[in-house]
Structure 1
Amino acid sequence: MRVGVYPGTFDPITLGHMDIIRRGAKLVDKLVIGVATNPSKSPMFTLEERVAQVKREAADLGTAVEVVPFDALLMKFAEAQKAQVIVRGLRAVADFEYEFQMAGMNQQLNADIETVFLMADVALQPIASRLVKEIAMYGGNIAPFVPALIAEEVAERVAATR
């Protein structure tokens, strides 16, 4: 069975993430969406909330997709999942430079796990979780960038912080 891992913080999960999940799931027999703690970021939602959100949004993809929280080195997580592939989404040249460096480091850690890059759908390329949160904090409409229930949850979280 070919297993892929799509890692991220998903804070919040966007339509861009969902595009990569749907397309990545077609490339492997099982896609594990790894929801990371990432201590270098200050998440809007807790790890448990983000896992629940991703599970809900990916539920229509069936058993070929599994959502798992992780707090470890990505390659250790991928090895634990018995993955052969890391799936990463690219939006712009800046993404590529960072992802290229990460792929090189990951290859040094485990050359048996390949990194596959998927270009984001052109209409979704500008979407970034960081920007979605910023737009929401200033009262902007994030509905074009995230699933409907996520837009509601972000609005509730923003309102609770005011």
Structure 2
Amino acid sequence: MPRTALYTGTFDPVTNGHLDVVRRAARIADKVVVAAGIHSSKTPIFTVEERLEMLREACAPAVEEAGAEFEVATFSGLAIEAARRHGATIIVRGLRDGTDLDYEMQMGAMNETMAPDIHTVFVPASPAVRPITATLVRQVAQMGGDVSAFVPPGVARRIEARFQSRR
């Protein structure tokens, strides 16, 4: 039976840390669905359409290289419901540090209570991407800094264009 993994996030912007998690997910699943969240409490710098384009551009080659199928989607509400909609039996979560672990363990336990057939798999961040967060990337970009070491090249170009237009 094919295994589908779901990886959710805001992806505003897509970072090398996100790409690291997607690459690892492609090693354990036959299909990887990356779902960008739509949350009314957040004001992203990129539209959901732009985030989906960045995900396609940055992640599809890595997933396909691993021999898995790739899909991008959006979701609002519970990740577990998005997993059900996409037929995912695995929810993949990246861990950078102990703070991530504490939060993700609680969330994973709640998800497993709601859907025992869907398992959460934790992926520790590679050392090279461990310090990267989308929040820090946005802050550096807003202050005119170079974010090219933290995001895929196409994303870096979009960030540069976005913040040049705001100056």
TM-score range for the pair, normalised by the shorter chain length: over 0.9
Q: CA deviation at 1:114?
A: 0.5
SS of residue in 2 equivalent to 1:59: helix
Cα distance in structure 2, aligned partners of 1:9 and 1:88: 13
Q: Identify the match of residue 111 of structure 1 among 116, 132, 145.
A: 116
Cα distance in structure 2, aligned partners of 1:21 and 1:144: 18
- Give the corresponding residue for 1:30: 31
SS of residue in 2 equivalent to 1:124: coil
Q: CA deviation at 1:88?
A: 0.4
SS of residue in 2 equivalent to 1:11: coil
Q: Deviations over 1:5-26 (max 9, x none)?
A: 0111110000111011011111
Letter in 2 for 1:56: E
SS of residue in 2 equivalent to 1:31: strand
Aligned length: 162
Cα distance in structure 2, aligned partners of 1:39 and 1:111: 28
Letter in 1 for 2:10: T
- Give the corresponding residue for 2:146: 141
Is residue 11–residue 36 contact of structure 2 (8 Å, CA) maintained in 1? yes
Is 1:132 the counterpart of 2:137 in the alignment? yes
- Give the corresponding residue for 2:7: 6
Map residues 7-156 of structure 1 onto 2, 5 A cutoff.
Answer: 7-60=8-61, 61-62=63-64, 64-156=69-161
Letter in 2 for 1:58: C
TM-score when scaled to structure 2?
Answer: 0.93
Cα distance in structure 2, aligned partners of 1:101 and 1:90: 13
Q: CA deviation at 1:39?
A: 2.4
Unaligned runs of 5+ in 1: none
Identity %: 40
SS of residue in 2 equivalent to 1:112: coil
Cα distance in structure 2, aligned partners of 1:41 and 1:106: 23
Q: Deviations over 1:54-108 (max 9, x none)?
A: 0111231336111111223211110011111000000011111111111122112
Is residue 141–residue 160 contact of structure 2 (8 Å, CA) maintained in 1? yes
Q: CA deviation at 1:145?
A: 0.2
Cα distance in structure 2, aligned partners of 1:41 and 1:96: 23
Q: Deviations over 1:103-124 (max 9, x none)?
A: 1221121111100000010011
Unaligned runs of 5+ in 2: none
